[in-house]
Amino acid sequence: MPQPDSAPFPERHYAPLEEEAAAPVRQEASSVEAPAMAEIFGPGGLLEKAMPQGYEHRPAQLEMAELVHSAFTAHQHAIVEAGTGTGKTLAYLVPALMSGRRVVISTATKSLQEQLYQKDVPFLQKHFAPELKVAVMKGRSNFLCKQKLHQMADQPMLKGLEEMDAYRQIRDWAQVTETGDRAELNFLADDSDLWGRLDARRDTCTGQKCPDFQQCFLTAMHQRAREADLIIVNHHLFFADLALKQDDFGSILPEYSAVVFDEAHEIEDVASDYFGRQISNFRFEELARDVDHALRLSKLGSAALLRRTQRIRERARAFFESFPPREGRFPFSRGERESFLEQHREFYDALVAALKSLETELAAVPQKPEELIRLARRSFELRQELAFLFESNERNFVYWYERRSKGVFLAATPIDVSQILRERLFEAFDTVILTSATLTVGGRFEFMRHRLGLDHAKERALPPEFDYAAQALFYLPRAMPDVRDAAFPAKAANEIVALLERSRGRAFCLFTSYAQMNDVYERVRSRVAFPLLLQGTAPRSALLERFRTTPHAVLFATSSFWQGVDVPGEQLSCVIVDRLPFAVPSDPIVAARVNSLKEDGRDAFSEYQVPQAVLALKQGFGRLIRAKTDRGILALLDTRIERMRYGKIFMESLPKYGMARDLADVAGFLDKEASN
Supply the pLDDT for residue 28.
39
Q: Say yes or no to pLDDT of 190 above 80.
A: no
For the domain made up of 468-675, give the CATH fold: Rossmann fold (3.40.50)
What's the pLDDT at 5?
Answer: 39
The pLDDT assigned to 86 comes to 92
**What is the distance between the alpha carbons of residues 62 and 465, in angstroms, rounded to a whole number?**
12
Written as one string, the DSSP assignment of 322-350 is TS-S--EEEE--HHHHHHHHHHHHHHHHH
Residue 460 neighbours by CB under 8 Å, 6+ apart: 63, 64, 67, 78, 79, 80, 81
Q: pTM (2 decimals)? A: 0.89
> pLDDT tens digits for 515-537?
999 999 999 999 999 999 999 88
pLDDT bracket for residue 4 (50, 70, 90): very low
Give the chain's mean pLDDT. 89
**pLDDT for the residue 6:** 43
> Do 62 and 37 touch, CB atoms closer than 8 A?
yes
Tell me the C-alpha distance between 7 and 94, whole Å. Answer: 13
Q: Cα–Cα–Cα angle for 623, 627, 628, nearest 5°?
A: 130
Residue type, 628: K
Residues of the chain with CATH 1.10.275: 277-414
Mean pLDDT of 548-567: 90
Q: CATH classification of 277-414 is 1.10.275, yes or no?
A: yes
Band (156; pLDDT cuts 50, 70, 90): low
* pLDDT tens-digit series, residues 349-386: 999 999 999 999 999 888 888 888 889 999 999 999 99
CA distance 98 to 14: 14
Amino acid 188: pLDDT = 80
Which whole number is the average pLDDT over 239-257?
81
- Give the span between the Cα atoms of 164 and 160, in whole angstroms: 6
The residue-averaged pLDDT of 34-51 equals: 89
Domain 4-133+425-461 of CATH type 1.10.1060:
no
Helix/strand/coil for 423:
helix
Average pLDDT on 586-602 reads: 95
Instruction: For residues 508 and 389, give the distance between their C-alpha atoms in angstroms, rounded to a whole number.
Output: 39
pLDDT for res 9: 58
Read off the pLDDT of residues 477-487 as tens digits, 9 standing for 90 and up.
988 999 999 99
Which residues belong to CATH 3.40.50.300 in the chain? 468-675
- What pLDDT is stored for residue 38 in this prediction? 93
What is the mean predicted confidence (pLDDT) over 95-111?
92
What's the CA gap between 115 and 130, in Å, rounded? 19
How far apart CA 52 and CA 46 sit, in angstroms, is 10
| Terminal CA-CA length for the chain | 35
Give the whole-angstrom CA distance, residue 460 versus residue 546: 38
Report the share of the chain in percent with pLDDT over 70.
93
Calculate the CA 504 to chain-centre distance: 32
Question: Sorting pLDDT into bands at 50, 70 and 90, what band is 1?
Answer: very low
